[in-house]
Amino acid sequence: MSEDLAWATASDIARAVASGAASALDVVDDALARIEERNPTLNGFTAITSDRARAQARAIDAKPDKASLPLAGVPFAVKNLFDVAGLATVAGSKINRARAKATRDSPLIEKLEAAGAVLVGALNMGEYAYDFTGENVHDGPSRNPHDTSRMTGGSSGGSGGAVAGGMVPLALGSDTNGSIRVPSSFCGTFGLKPTYGRLSRARSFPFVASLDHLGPFARAARDLALSYDAMQGFDAEDGACVDRPLEPATPELARGIAGLRIAIAGGYFQKGAFPEALEALARVAQAVGAKDVVEIPEAARARAAAYVITATEGAALHLDRLRKQARDFDPAVRDRLLAAAMVPATLVDKAQNFRRWYRDEVLKLFARYDAILAPATPCTAPKIGQQTFVIDGVELPVRPNVGIYTQPISFIGLPVVAVPVPLAPLPIAVQIIAAPWREDVALRIAQALEQTGAVAAPRPDL
């Protein structure tokens, strides 16, 4: 029973709990036991909310209408930048530990729990989300379940590790430049970064207001769709959240990919990729019959502009803390933010101007294609502590460069599903990029790929 639950999908668990074949309390107890057993190795959790989880599970078991709950009894955990009532929202930092405890959950937690899911804890992350490694100087690194000497990827490293390591079937993370897609790639999970403005970011600790997104990790495409559907809905508390009708993706999954026009990103998105990234891309392209190669124009400049906006908006967010508490930051984060605080505003405005031009150009591609495939990361998970790697013949620092393929996409808020290709010895993901507000298209393709076996969350040997 326990091993079955370790690898059960959220939809399997919800079906079992809704039908009465399993109790939510048993499922949650099982998850909590597994977290206790595996977390000392994987270091994915920074807080475990056992009492609250058991109370919520009992409440679900007592509900007469639990059959109508799409996530009945599904344990989940959230990156520790989400407000969780009773916990300080640390966002991977030492500084935020002094904050008052949150008095109310983030709206995405509230929505998942309204759908029957059960919060079991908060997850490790790179400090203030300015990270692609999953390492954290205060809490220690989250560790990759497929090889614990390797990175999970970041900054939602605990989210990737907790799902890939079988501790929870569902987790939430944030993605400013790739922080859902990078750990999905390194850990071999499915991850959804929705369209910018789709899901509420209220009561989560920000990083870069104009680039921040929240979204789910899971071990099946259907689980992404179920949780995403549960979290949709306008929220005036998030100034960027767009007031649109609910557009459920789960009912669309059965449509498959017939009629969808799918292209492969060439040029920038293949230059510098390690052989495993290209192998994963080729496998996915073949499985969906994609042959056309398109050039996403000026992607290198888009990545550069995203880098500049990220650094400077992040520095603005943290300016007061940099002035007063610089020694309390992770030194790597501090040095990047202090440097960014000195960048002239003229250059930031140039990056914002470019952003509009680039968005218009990329959207033209979606007149011809429904989705574009691209690598999620240039390589599989590096070793924890690895400082550099070689991209296109140039030795570069790992930390800021793992996201070279994700940054040009989130820069203009496009929805992406990262799908894991189970290469040996380590998985690596491919991005399925869709037009704004067409998460359903990316999720349909992910589900179809999963059905062919081309993509799957590989089970680690733990």
Between residues 95 and 338, which has the closer beta carbon with respect to other proteins?
338
179 is catalytic: yes
In single-letter form, the type of residue at position 362 comes to V
Q: How many residues sit in the footprint of other proteins (CB under 8 A)?
A: 42
CB 326 → other proteins: shortest distance, Å? 5
User: Does 307 interact with other proteins (rule: CB under 8 A)?
Assistant: yes
Q: Do the beta carbons of residue 455 and residue 420 sit within 8 Å?
A: yes
Between residues 348 and 429, which has the closer beta carbon with respect to other proteins?
348
What whole-number distance in Å separates Cα of residue 398 and Cα of residue 170? 27
Which one, of 41, 61, 58, 42, lies nearest residue 50 by Cα? 58
383 is catalytic: no
In sequence order, the 6+-apart residues with CB closer than 8 A to the CB of 264 are: 281, 285, 290, 291, 292, 293, 294, 372, 373, 374
Residue choice 305, 381, 418, 421 for contact with other proteins (CB under 8 A): 305
Between residues 110 and 298, which has the closer beta carbon with respect to other proteins?
298
Binding segment (CB under 8 A) for other proteins, from list 25-33, 154-162, 329-337, 386-394: 329-337
User: Does 351 interact with other proteins (rule: CB under 8 A)?
Assistant: yes
For residues 159 to 198, the per-residue mask of contacts with other proteins, x marking binding by CB under 8 A and - elsewhere, is: -------------------------------------xx-
Between residues 225 and 308, which has the closer beta carbon with respect to other proteins?
308
Residue choice 347, 363, 390, 394 for contact with other proteins (CB under 8 A): 347
Cis peptide preceding 19, ω within 30 of 0:
no
For residues 48 to 87, the per-residue mask of contacts with other proteins, x marking binding by CB under 8 A and - elsewhere, is: ----------------------------------------
Between residues 101 and 323, which has the closer beta carbon with respect to other proteins?
323
Binding segment (CB under 8 A) for other proteins, from list 16-24, 166-174, 278-286, 304-312: 304-312
Q: Do the beta carbons of residue 205 and residue 80 sit within 8 Å?
A: no
User: Does 339 interact with other proteins (rule: CB under 8 A)?
Assistant: yes
CB 107 → other proteins: shortest distance, Å? 18
Query: Which one of 66, 79, 111, 193 is the catalytic residue?
Result: 79
Query: Which one of 106, 142, 155, 204 is the catalytic residue?
Result: 155
Residue choice 38, 111, 193, 336 for contact with other proteins (CB under 8 A): 336
User: Does 300 interact with other proteins (rule: CB under 8 A)?
Assistant: yes
Query: Which one of 179, 204, 227, 410 is the catalytic residue?
Result: 179
In single-letter form, the type of residue at position 135 comes to E
Partners of 144 in the β-ladder: 147
Rounded to the nearest 5 degrees, what angle is found at the Cα of 190, between the Cα atoms of 189 and 194? 140
Q: Report how far apart, in Å, the C-alpha atoms of 92 and of each of 226, 333, 427 are.
A: 28, 11, 26
Binding segment (CB under 8 A) for other proteins, from list 80-88, 96-104, 122-130, 346-354: 346-354
**N-to-C CA span, the chain:** 17
Residue choice 16, 171, 340, 391 for contact with other proteins (CB under 8 A): 340
Binding segment (CB under 8 A) for other proteins, from list 60-68, 133-141, 171-179, 351-359: 351-359
CB 370 → other proteins: shortest distance, Å? 24
Residue choice 342, 393, 424, 461 for contact with other proteins (CB under 8 A): 342
CB 339 → other proteins: shortest distance, Å? 4
What whole-number distance in Å separates Cα of residue 264 and Cα of residue 332? 35
Binding segment (CB under 8 A) for other proteins, from list 38-46, 97-105, 152-160, 298-306: 298-306
Binding segment (CB under 8 A) for other proteins, from list 110-118, 250-258, 328-336, 365-373: 328-336
Phi, psi (5° rounding) for residue 152?
Answer: -80, -20
Residue choice 355, 369, 441, 449 for contact with other proteins (CB under 8 A): 355
User: Does 353 interact with other proteins (rule: CB under 8 A)?
Assistant: yes
Residue choice 104, 261, 291, 350 for contact with other proteins (CB under 8 A): 350
What whole-number distance in Å separates Cα of residue 333 and Cα of residue 336? 5
Instruction: Compute how many other C-beta atoms are within 10 angstroms of the C-beta atom of residue 55.
Output: 14
Rule CB under 8 A: which residues touch other proteins?
196-197, 210, 239-240, 298, 300-301, 304-305, 307-308, 311, 322-323, 326, 331-332, 334-336, 338-343, 346-357, 359, 400, 412
Catalytic positions are 79, 155, 179
